[in-house]
């Protein structure tokens, strides 16, 4: 257990202590204690920066279940470190923000911070694990803690709905991913991602490769809210705002991005990977931004905006995979896409975090998040307005903020798509820049909407639940730090390029830089007069125009009926599966014994008859049959006649007597087949049981004593005939098979030794008490239990009723 492992597990350890701190120090906001954890971890992870930027990696193994190849291998490379810094850095800011956001008197803070720390540890585990099973374990931890955080205000119905929805969707994805991991293990025999990357060439040829890829992608897409699994994210906005800022903008939703980036070297050689990742990404980008415009809730807009930005990063990662198809590093334009993805990942975390915190402040200080009620806050909340405008403009991709740079690089990447002569991209690829451009226009519109509708326009303060005023300074610190980063990264992007982006890109595309070569990352403002510049100008112009005429065309959103939205499909699917399984259960769990007997007998017949036919076991061998004697025939006729008459008897009394006839005939058969002990027992037992039947008959209630013939049911008749037939066929077949494969009977031993060993003459009795006395011992136990059962049923019946 190294220091690195302890760092990953530190949040879990802290989570154990938090409730005690909460109970012990009621006067201090618990968040202050919690704040130390991410801060310490952030400082700790900063120390790895020189290591990874010089191209080295750190790997520590802690043996967990070595016999199964499952070891907790912590592995720090550029990509892992980038995410670890995001998690701990934004984690610190979010904890700080939450101290001012959540009141210590009203909220169950111990729950909140325990969940948050659990989540933080789980995320660190996801991004720093090399072993896929450990990664999966932490992955599910993030799902569970996210579920708990979304349902934090569990007395609200919407919270519970959102939590359940996110749980169902992300766990579905998580389980698919586990399937993918298992398939990869079957193919390669290892759970280590680094070893998998080394084998990617061999894996390509494996028939399971495709399934593994799709299953892993399902995990990534559900977690990262890609179309059509994005539906959980807007509903997760019922969580407290610090949670939305942390989980649903900066960290958890990027776990899917991380997974795609991490597995790129394994899968990227396949063309399908490029199409799936880039295709779903670009469509999610469009769909998210298109839907964000119709939202009226600040956090709703931000949720759809997150969906769309995640789609953007995803599409860039997909496209970046194309880089692996070219061997030369020089003029490899697709690597730009990967660089853009990493860069935008950082940018998105900064501006989206600050925007969520801004939304939280507005909510906290005005009491509403509805942009139809808000307006004119600019004079009252100038600092919040500044935060909002920087964040939104960066999101819209306007200069001089960092969003502009990554947006430019994104457009560069998308334009280069259809120059690619791989996988039909040169024809259908034209969709990529078109969708990207349209989505960017919508992004522009909602970003502007977010600021202008909230802070500008007519003030309508009388409609607000609270009197608005500027937020306390403590609440503003975190978003201010984030927007400062937005500006700093905007002006000096190369601060990041060698320290963070280069090692991350090298981790995503490990095979690309040939020996001695290095990935060269240089981000600059001025591209010259290139197409992407004109595209940006076009975005701004069109966006402004469309924003101005928003009221005229917003009606199109209402054209899509609720039934056909993905939410509608999800809701109906859930209802349908519930009512469907209920109906299915209703259908076959009838509560009638006779239906269950029909199932049992039908399966009995179906399985036995099909086995008999499939294994071709039915044979008839009459060579060793005994001669049929006349009294056996007569007795058989009596027996059959008795049995059949039972079926048609009108009175129950007749049936009982006929049952006696059958029983005594069987006793006679025992006589004929020379089994005197059996005959004696059968006679006495039959007498006793007929007497008991008569007793039952005598005590039947008057009402149900109506004498009528058994009703004829075709199904019952068919099944009973089939059961009889099956058993007969099996009897014949086993007898005949016994003739064909001759087995020596064990009874010769008994015949030989009945006197020698057991000093007896009656072989049946000697077997019962001596050779196999153990059976007899338990048969008398059965008798004893039956007697006690009857005694208890009869005598304690009244006692139980009295107690009630």
Partner 1 sequence: MKNKPNDLILQTVTTMISFIIILFSIHLFFAGHYTPGGGFIGGLMTSAALVLLLLAYDIKTLNTILPFNFRMMTAAGLLISVLTGAGALLFNQPFLTHAYDYFELPLLGKTSLHTAVLFDIGVYLVVIGVTMTIIQTIGESE
- Catalog residues that contact partner 1 under the rule CB under 8 A: 676-677, 680-681, 684-685, 688, 692, 695, 758-762, 764-766, 768-770, 773-774, 776-777, 780-781, 783-784, 786-788, 790-791, 794-795
Q: How many CB atoms lie within 10 A of CB 312?
A: 30
Q: Residue 47 or 795: which CB sits closer to partner 1?
A: 795
Q: Residue 601 or 771: which CB sits closer to partner 1?
A: 771
Supply the minimum distance, in Å, between the C-beta of residue 209 and partner 1. 59
Closest CA to 174 of 235, 239, 126, 240: 126
Determine whether 254 is exposed, middle or buried from the number of CB atoms within 10 Å of its CB (0-12, 13-18, 19+). Answer: buried
Q: Answer yes or no: are the C-beta atoms of 313 and 280 closer than 8 Å.
A: no
Q: Answer yes or no: are the C-beta atoms of 177 and 219 closer than 8 Å.
A: yes
Q: Residue 710 or 788: which CB sits closer to partner 1?
A: 788
Supply the minimum distance, in Å, between the C-beta of residue 784 and partner 1. 5
Q: Residue 263 or 667: which CB sits closer to partner 1?
A: 667
Q: Residue 607 or 777: which CB sits closer to partner 1?
A: 777
Helix ranges (H only) for 615-675 are: 630-648, 652-672
Supply the minimum distance, in Å, between the C-beta of residue 790 and partner 1. 5
Q: Residue 23 or 772: which CB sits closer to partner 1?
A: 772
Q: Residue 60 or 687: which CB sits closer to partner 1?
A: 687
Supply the minimum distance, in Å, between the C-beta of residue 796 and partner 1. 11
Q: Answer yes or no: are the C-beta atoms of 284 and 313 closer than 8 Å.
A: no
Q: Residue 626 or 759: which CB sits closer to partner 1?
A: 759
**% helix / strand / coil in the chain, to the nearest 5?**
75, 0, 25
Q: Residue 695 or 799: which CB sits closer to partner 1?
A: 695
Supply the minimum distance, in Å, between the C-beta of residue 801 and partner 1. 14
Q: Any idea what DSSP says for residue 456?
A: S
Supply the minimum distance, in Å, between the C-beta of residue 692 and partner 1. 8
Supply the minimum distance, in Å, between the C-beta of residue 612 and partner 1. 37
Supply the minimum distance, in Å, between the C-beta of residue 65 and partner 1. 42
Supply the minimum distance, in Å, between the C-beta of residue 780 and partner 1. 4
- List beta partners, residue 297: 370
Closest CA to 269 of 332, 201, 329, 222: 201
Q: How big is the CA angle at 567 (ends 564 and 571), to the nearest 5 degrees?
A: 100
Supply the minimum distance, in Å, between the C-beta of residue 11 and partner 1. 59
Q: Residue 582 or 791: which CB sits closer to partner 1?
A: 791
DSSP for 729-785?
HHHHHHHHHHHHSPPPPTHHHHHHHTTTTT--S-HHHHIIIIITHHHHHHHHHHHHH
Q: Answer yes or no: are the C-beta atoms of 444 and 381 closer than 8 Å.
A: no
Q: Which 3 state secondary structure label does DSSP give 58?
A: strand
Task: At 480, list the tokens.
Answer: 């201010």
Supply the minimum distance, in Å, between the C-beta of residue 632 and partner 1. 21
Q: Which 3 state secondary structure label does DSSP give 689?
A: helix
Q: Residue 582 or 673: which CB sits closer to partner 1?
A: 673
Residues 6+ apart with CB under 8 A from 103: none
Read off φ and ψ for residue 733, nearest 5 degrees.
-65, -40
Residues 6+ apart with CB under 8 A from 374: 298, 362, 366, 368, 453, 454, 464
Task: At 373, list the tokens.
Answer: 């009620």
């Amino acid at each position: 257990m190294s220091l690195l492992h302890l760092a990953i597990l530190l949040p879990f350890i802290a989570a154990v202590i938090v409730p005690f701190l909460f109970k012990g120090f009621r006067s201090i906001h618990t968040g202050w204690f919690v704040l130390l954890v991410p801060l310490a971890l952030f400082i700790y992870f900063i120390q790895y920066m020189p290591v990874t930027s010089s191209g080295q990696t750190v790997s520590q193994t802690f043996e967990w279940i070595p016999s199964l190849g499952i070891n907790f291998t912590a592995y720090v490379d550029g990509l892992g470190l980038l995410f670890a810094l995001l998690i701990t850095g934004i984690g610190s800011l979010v904890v700080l923000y939450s101290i001012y956001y959540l009141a210590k008197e009203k909220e169950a803070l111990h729950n909140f911070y325990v969940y948050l720390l659990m989540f933080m540890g789980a995320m660190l585990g996801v991004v720093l694990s090399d072993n896929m099973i450990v990664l999966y374990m932490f992955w599910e931890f993030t799902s569970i803690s996210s579920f708990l955080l979304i349902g934090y205000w569990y007395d609200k119905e919407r919270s519970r709905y959102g939590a359940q929805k996110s749980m169902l969707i992300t766990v579905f994805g998580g389980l698919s991913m586990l399937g993918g991991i298992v398939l990869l293990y079957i193919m390669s025999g290892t759970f280590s991602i680094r070893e998998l990357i080394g084998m990617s060439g061999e894996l390509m040829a494996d028939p399971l490769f495709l399934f593994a890829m799709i299953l892993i992608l399902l995990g990534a897409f559900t977690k990262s809210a890609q179309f059509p699994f994005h539906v959980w994210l807007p509903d997760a906005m019922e969580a407290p705002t610090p949670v939305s800022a942390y989980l649903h903008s900066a960290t958890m939703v990027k776990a899917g991005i991380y997974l795609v980036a991490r597995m790129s070297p394994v899968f990227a050689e396949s063309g399908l990977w490029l199409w799936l990742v880039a295709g779903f990404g670009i469509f999610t980008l469009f769909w998210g931004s298109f839907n964000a415009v119709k939202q009226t809730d600040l956090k709703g807009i931000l949720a759809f905006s997150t969906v769309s930005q995640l789609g953007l990063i995803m599409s860039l990662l997909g496209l970046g995979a194309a880089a692996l198809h070219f061997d030369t590093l020089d003029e490899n334009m697709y690597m730009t896409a990967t660089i853009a993805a990493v860069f935008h990942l950082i940018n998105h975390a900064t501006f989206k975090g600050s925007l969520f915190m801004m939304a939280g402040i507005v909510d906290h200080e005005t009491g509403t998040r509805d942009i139809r009620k808000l307006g004119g806050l600019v004079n009252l909340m100038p600092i919040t307005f500044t935060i909002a405008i920087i964040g939104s403009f960066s999101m819209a991709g306007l200069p001089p903020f960092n969003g502009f740079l990554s947006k430019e690089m994104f457009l560069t990447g998308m334009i280069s798509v259809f120059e690619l002569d791989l996988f039909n991209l040169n024809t259908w690829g034209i969709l990529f820049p078109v969708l990207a451009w349209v989505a960017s226009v919508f992004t522009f519109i909602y970003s502007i909407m977010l600021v202008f509708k909230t802070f500008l326009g007519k003030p309508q303060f009388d409609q607000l639940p609270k009197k608005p005023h500027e937020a306390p300074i403590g609440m503003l610190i975190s978003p201010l730090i984030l927007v400062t980063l937005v500006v700093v990264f905007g002006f000096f992007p190369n601060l990041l390029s060698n320290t963070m982006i280069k090692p991350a890109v090298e981790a995503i595309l490990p095979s690309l830089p040939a020996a001695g070569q290095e990935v060269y990352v240089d981000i600059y403002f001025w591209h010259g007069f290139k197409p992407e510049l004109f595209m940006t100008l076009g975005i701004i112009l069109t966006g402004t125009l469309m924003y101005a005429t928003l009221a005229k065309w917003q009606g199109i959103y209402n054209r899509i009926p609720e039934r056909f939205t993905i939410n509608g499909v999800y809701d109906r699917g859930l209802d349908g599966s519930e009512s469907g399984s209920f109906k299915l259960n209703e259908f076959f769990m009838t509560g009638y014994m006779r239906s269950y007997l029909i199932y049992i007998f039908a399966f009995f017949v179906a399985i036995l008859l099909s086995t008999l036919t499939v294994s071709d076991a039915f044979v008839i061998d009459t060579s060793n049959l005994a001669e049929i004697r006349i009294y056996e025939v007569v007795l058989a006729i009596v027996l059959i006649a008795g049995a059949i008459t039972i079926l048609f008897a009108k009175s129950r009394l007749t049936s009982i007597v006929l049952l006696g006839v059958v029983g005594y005939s069987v006793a006679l058969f025992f006589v004929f087949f020379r089994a005197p002990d059996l005959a004696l027992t059968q006679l006495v037992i039959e007498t006793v049981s007929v007497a008991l039947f008569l007793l039952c008959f005598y005590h039947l209630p008057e009402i149900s004593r109506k004498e009528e013939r058994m009703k004829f049911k075709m199904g019952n008749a068919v099944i009973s005939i089939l059961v009889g037939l099956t058993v007969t066929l099996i009897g014949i077949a086993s007898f005949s098979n016994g003739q064909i494969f001759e087995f020596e009977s064990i009874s010769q031993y008994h015949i030989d030794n009945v006197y020698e060993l057991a000093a007896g003459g009656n072989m049946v009795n000697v077997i019962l008490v001596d050779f196999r006395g153990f059976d007899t011992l338990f048969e008398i136990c059965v008798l004893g239990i039956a007697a006690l059962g009857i005694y208890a049923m009869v005598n304690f019946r009244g006692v139980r009723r009295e107690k009630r």
